[in-house]
Structure 1
Amino acid sequence: MMNAFLSFITERYPDILKALEEHLSISFSAVILGTIIAVPIGILLVYSRVGWINSVVFFIANLFQTVPSLALLAILIPLMGIGMRPAILALLLYSLMPILRNTYDGFQSVDRGVLNSAKGMGYSTVQTIMKIQLPLSLPYIMSGIRITTVYIISWATLASLIGAGGLGQLIVSGLGVNKPEMIYIGGIGAILLALIADGLLGLLEGWLSRHFHQTRESAI
């Protein structure tokens, strides 16, 4: 088994690298787009004066989480065809809730006394967000992004079922031709990719925390 495993890596490493590149493209496109959408919406909900809007937005975001992955992909095929686009959109929809919830909770966790002090110092709403709330809520936001990234990398293996490629293609092909080494490469590759991504995001969180340290100290 080990010889077959190593032989497959040696002979098919261009295909493995291509599958890895596709998996990275699908996963990180979904996470980045989800972050760009969910973080501003979470901030807006904090400042929303209409309570039912928050309920509706969270209901819709949570609704996407309840739809099975294969069902969502099947729904998108008639609308967008097959390939990376529907796969990225499906994963994007799954990424919204955890990032949105953590952003909202992070901003809500900021001490009201700190916000009142900022207001007394003449800070505008934008200044309060950028200089006070965003730095203080950073651990919450990054936690949501890290959890989402790990899940999205795992779910992206299903993208191969609609022709989007990725490491899941190795798994599906391995099942089709009864080659365990292909299944192992695809599965282990996805696991390692998730662990590496989580580690890198942890380093990014640390760097951002240090970058905002002075702001947090002045806020407190």
Structure 2
Amino acid sequence: MNTLVAAWDWLTTSANWSGENGVGNRLGEHLFLTVVCLLLSCLTALPVALVLGHLGKGGALAVNISNAGRAVPTFAVLVLLLLTPLGTHGEWPTVVALVLFAVPPLLTNAYVGMRGVDRDTVRAARAMGMTGGQLLWRVELPLALPLILTGVRVAAVQLVATATIAALAGGGGLGRIITAGFNLASTPQVVAGAVLVAVFALLVEAAFEAARRLAPPWTRGAAS
């Protein structure tokens, strides 16, 4: 209980929120890293999942391979990347490790969403003379959108929680508050950093849920 009280005192001390090492700056770094990694993950996973889901070929293999990658800890991937030539390029090892971590839920949800589109609807669209591209963009993608957005939400929350590893490679983010607490043997600061990460993840989850509720009904579908 004393540790929790001390952690609360740390969080409510204004000096800990300002400056280069303050919570405000570290939160901005954490948000920036999360957004960049999420965008790169979407650009990597979604086109592959949409095409494979549309064709109905090779998707199961791609999903299984990406999910198998979850068995490898993100920290282990980061360490291996730091030992390669990529390790000399700033935060790129962290970015690559986090992107690889976020790809599986994006790829899986998008592919399952595409394959879950009602086949009768697809056949009807083909009978109307739609081309493959029209079928993908006008029929399959809108119907698969709820599951695709669910994958984006899951990936975003996971990235917020996992981006703390950036501190282990000398990067920024809320993880620096935790590592600084370990270096100073300050348990309250470590706990405070962990609380900040947890609250940030919950806020991101809440933001996605609010966006889903405010979105048009057709974008909710099975995700609700």
- Secondary structure of 2:117 counterpart: coil
1:81 and 2:82 equivalent? no
Equivalence for 1:64 = 69
CA contact (8 A) 2:146 2:219 kept: no
Judged with a 3 Å threshold, the aligned counterparts in structure 2 of structure 1 residues 202 and 130 are, in CA distance, closer, same or farther, namely farther
- Secondary structure of 2:176 counterpart: helix
Alpha-carbon separation, structure 2, partners of 1:191 and 1:139 = 25
AA in 2 matched with 1:80: L
Mapping of residues 24-63 of structure 1, within 5 Å: 24-48=31-55, 51=57, 53-54=58-59, 56-63=61-68
Alpha-carbon separation, structure 1, partners of 2:38 and 2:197 = 16
* Deviation of the 1:143 alpha carbon: 1.3
Alpha-carbon separation, structure 1, partners of 2:131 and 2:55 = 16
Equivalence for 2:186 = 179
* Deviation of the 1:89 alpha carbon: 1.0
**C-alpha distance after superposition, 1:170-191 (max 9, x if no partner):** 1111112122332122111111
- Secondary structure of 1:74 counterpart: helix
Q: Which runs of 5+ in 1 are unaligned?
A: none
* Deviation of the 1:114 alpha carbon: 0.6
Judged with a 3 Å threshold, the aligned counterparts in structure 2 of structure 1 residues 45 and 7 are, in CA distance, closer, same or farther, namely closer
**C-alpha distance after superposition, 1:128-158 (max 9, x if no partner):** 2222211211121111111111111111111
**C-alpha distance after superposition, 1:41-72 (max 9, x if no partner):** 001112346x4x43553344224312112210
Equivalence for 1:10 = 14
Equivalence for 1:121 = 128
Q: How many residues align?
A: 212
TM-score, normalised to structure 1's length? 0.86
Going by fraction, where is helix more abundant, 1 or 2? Answer: 1
**Identical residues among aligned pairs (%):** 27
AA in 1 matched with 2:81: L
* Deviation of the 1:4 alpha carbon: 6.8
The alignment yields a C-alpha RMSD, in angstroms, of 2.3
Equivalence for 2:111 = 104
Mapping of residues 137-152 of structure 1, within 5 Å: 137-152=144-159
AA in 1 matched with 2:129: G
Judged with a 3 Å threshold, the aligned counterparts in structure 2 of structure 1 residues 205 and 128 are, in CA distance, closer, same or farther, namely farther
Judged with a 3 Å threshold, the aligned counterparts in structure 2 of structure 1 residues 113 and 158 are, in CA distance, closer, same or farther, namely same
